[in-house]
Structure 1
């Protein structure tokens, strides 16, 4: 008989624990989804860097051909040819490193997708770096942060501990219960073995019971204090989680905006570097400048194009970080529960797991939880 709400608060605590577990699952799904997006953007960025390196190799081979031809005709010294060859070998040496990083990103995608490391180039194909829109409607971060799974988990944890504090306080009051006993009597042990107990005797009694906390008051007080300390700890953890979420959101938004400005400037710089190399090549062929100008222009073009490709990937990755900081915006708990049906069937084959979610419906999760009153 729950006069003081002890069992009601226990149910509240269990419900909060269930919601916290669901939020923990959603947090894991958001983290995995964000990591898949980050790895995919990195894969496309490395693909573009590799393409830029191949293009620069072609340009530098042409400059080497020109320098070699001028050296053979005696128009320049051997130094120009050696400088062109050195620049070409330096660019070619960067290709294996980029190819290795590309394979690492591909293997990371395989693992995140639940596949063994394998060649998924055919499945991914060739595509540009996913470009983020110039403007993103983020809404009000203070409101959006409430959908972050880790914030909801901390909120549910505080709610559950608040309910446990109420359970501890209920121990101060008398516990009223209804009990009873039903049994059979027999004059000897043999009657039980023959099943002839009904003919010997039947006894039953029942009535209310009252338990008073007279001699364990100190233990109850200390338990209430311990539960209150845990509740304060949960509140502190909740506030810290919210502050960390705000910090991550502000950092992500600032990084996203700065990455867009940096990419715009690098695009102009790369275009100027390409024009500069074109003019330097023409002037070198005409003999109006030395090969050092061509060498410097080629290195500048390679550096700026590579930086532009990295900046393009950074824009998309910073937007992924913003969405992750805001909780993703997805309710990722499936209708059938967090465990796939195939896994549940495998588990039921080993042990008795009862009916599957598809047979009895799923347990809903999510939603807001109000902290129970003390």
Structure 2
């Protein structure tokens, strides 16, 4: 399942998927979100350390009038630093880090989800392009068959052997089939535009790369889809839902910690010197040293239910996250079953439709032969040609549905994200643009660890 698109054995599809993984804008947005989450984790981690830190220094020139006496002018110097630290006695900051870390992992799983969806969209769009090309080919083949029939009927009508009605019916069928071409050609161009967008390109002509006329990817003989237990571990959206619940559970702990008093330590260390005859050098003598330490606690017991209601808010959000997780698991199982049913149904139809096409081709040949020999009217020919076009279209559409069902099956299993190996690439252009605005330190690493984060 790591590179499931390779089961089709189509080198062009493989190249398109590889390019999309490098250049898709939505995938890069997901990668930048990981940078944001890592920074949020850094903020949460930083709260465990002293929160209030100040350093100040003054140099004041005092004149006799300001000093309130007759002494000469003098300088008053001071230099000091203070710090306060709230002890994480009730785990407020620890639970905050736990929540931020789960949120980071959820963001990484979200990247994996975008990766899976993007891969499936590229494969689906490529299959749609090839299917539309097959439909165009079938339409053109039937136009050629119907044109030859019309030419035969036209000659016979001019000779008086056949009626003008036969000729008009043949022309009507021919024109109706020709009318299908513009719609198919428009659909083909729209699919190519969609593929360009997935590749991060403006709408353009992909014909040179794709070729003038291709065929549907070959269906794999065997599908390896894993077992249900693997499904829950593999699907990124299931992991995202689980991690979101974990992050919210930690926020309940953060809110609960507000019920209890907070304990803080504070301290000051400084130097001061002033008075007549004092210069800057005296500031750094032993006599100028002064310091103090202490502690405090705050207990917001008169909070008018604010804290309790905040806990209730966070708990309600946790319950929503748990329900969302259960629903995600249910939907994941349903999508797998739906995709498998679609694939099985398409494959069961495949052989029958292929035989139907062969029968329709033979009927078309026989009906025209009997018509030329005068053994049947032209309505039989019209019916046979309409049936041939319809059955060929049904057959190729079913083949396309089978290919799309394979893509849906692998997408529903969450396959494909493992190939990036834990790397969440931001393009060099985006890195340069962001670093011109902000110092990102070592955040632009190509491999992000699944646990923890960094902070500057």
TM-score by length of 2: 0.74
SS at match of 2:293: strand
What is the Cα deviation at residue 334 of structure 1? Answer: 5.9
What is the Cα deviation at residue 102 of structure 1? Answer: 0.7
Which residue, 173, 179, 186 being the options, matches 1:100? Answer: 186
Distance 1:187 1:55, change over 3 A: same
> Which residue of the partner structure matches residue 307 of structure 2?
220
> Which residue of the partner structure matches residue 278 of structure 1?
365
Larger Rg, first or second structure (1 or 2): 2
Which residue, 351, 361, 365 being the options, matches 2:450? Answer: 365
In the alignment, the residues of structure 2 paired with residue 187 and residue 30 of structure 1 have an alpha-carbon distance, to the nearest angstrom, of 70
Count residues in correspondence: 364
> Which residue of the partner structure matches residue 371 of structure 1?
none
What is the Cα deviation at residue 216 of structure 1? Answer: 4.1
Q: Does 1:177 align with 2:264?
A: yes
Mapping of residues 1-374 of structure 1, within 5 Å: 1-125=87-211, 126-187=213-274, 197-198=283-284, 201-212=288-299, 214-216=301-303, 218-331=305-418, 335-355=422-442, 357-358=444-445, 362-365=447-450
What is the Cα deviation at residue 27 of structure 1? Answer: 1.4
What is the Cα deviation at residue 348 of structure 1? Answer: 1.3
> Which residue of the partner structure matches residue 372 of structure 1?
none
Distance 1:345 1:232, change over 3 A: same
What is the Cα deviation at residue 327 of structure 1? Answer: 1.2
Alpha carbons 1:23, 1:366 under 8 Å: kept:
no
In the alignment, the residues of structure 2 paired with residue 161 and residue 306 of structure 1 have an alpha-carbon distance, to the nearest angstrom, of 52
Distance 1:214 1:98, change over 3 A: closer
What is the Cα deviation at residue 50 of structure 1? Answer: 0.3
What is the Cα deviation at residue 196 of structure 1? Answer: 6.4
Q: Please list the CA deviations of residues 63-113 of structure 1 after superposition, one character each: whole Å capped at 9, or x if unmatched.
A: 112112221222111111111111111111111111111111111111111
Structure 1 residue ranges without an equivalent (≥5): 368-374
Segment of structure 1 superposing worse, 348-357 or 54-63:
348-357
What is the Cα deviation at residue 335 of structure 1? Answer: 4.8
Q: Please list the CA deviations of residues 34-57 of structure 1 after superposition, one character each: whole Å capped at 9, or x if unmatched.
A: 111111101000000000011111
Segment of structure 1 superposing worse, 234-243 or 162-171:
162-171
Segment of structure 1 superposing worse, 275-284 or 205-214:
205-214
Alpha carbons 1:25, 1:338 under 8 Å: kept:
no
Q: Please list the CA deviations of residues 175-196 of structure 1 after superposition, one character each: whole Å capped at 9, or x if unmatched.
A: 33332112344558xx89x786
Q: Please list the CA deviations of residues 293-347 of structure 1 after superposition, one character each: whole Å capped at 9, or x if unmatched.
A: 1111000000111111111111111111111111124226565534223311222
Segment of structure 1 superposing worse, 58-67 or 161-170:
161-170
In the alignment, the residues of structure 1 paired with residue 384 and residue 290 of structure 2 have an alpha-carbon distance, to the nearest angstrom, of 105
TM-score by length of 1: 0.89
SS at match of 1:115: coil
In the alignment, the residues of structure 2 paired with residue 337 and residue 263 of structure 1 have an alpha-carbon distance, to the nearest angstrom, of 41
Q: Please list the CA deviations of residues 197-251 of structure 1 after superposition, one character each: whole Å capped at 9, or x if unmatched.
A: 4468432111444444544484333332222121111111111111122222221
In the alignment, the residues of structure 1 paired with residue 198 and residue 416 of structure 2 have an alpha-carbon distance, to the nearest angstrom, of 20
SS at match of 2:266: strand
In the alignment, the residues of structure 1 paired with residue 363 and residue 325 of structure 2 have an alpha-carbon distance, to the nearest angstrom, of 56
In the alignment, the residues of structure 1 paired with residue 442 and residue 236 of structure 2 have an alpha-carbon distance, to the nearest angstrom, of 28
SS at match of 1:357: coil
